[in-house]
Structure 1
Amino acid sequence: MIELLNRGYGDTLNISKKEEERDRRREAKEAEAA
């Protein structure tokens, strides 16, 4: 049970990191365009 929760939490963290990366890339592109 705890193992499953930990795995789900890890997946959530991975998704958050991917979204952060994507946001940073988009911000960099916008900065270049500006």
Structure 2
Amino acid sequence: MFQLGKTIVSEDILDKDFVCNLNACKGACCVDGDA
């Protein structure tokens, strides 16, 4: 993990494709995290 501003980001973001359904969650999972 690394810090980007005030946000902690998993290194998985470098290797995995983005698969969130933005129409369903409106970005909430990106803000709240998936844990």
Which is higher, the Rg of structure 1 or of structure 2? 1
TM bin, normalised by shorter chain, reads under 0.3
TM normalised by structure 1 equals 0.23
Please state which structure has a larger fraction of its residues in strand. 2
Greater relative contact order (Cα < 8 A, sep 6+): 2
Please state which structure has a larger fraction of its residues in helix. 1
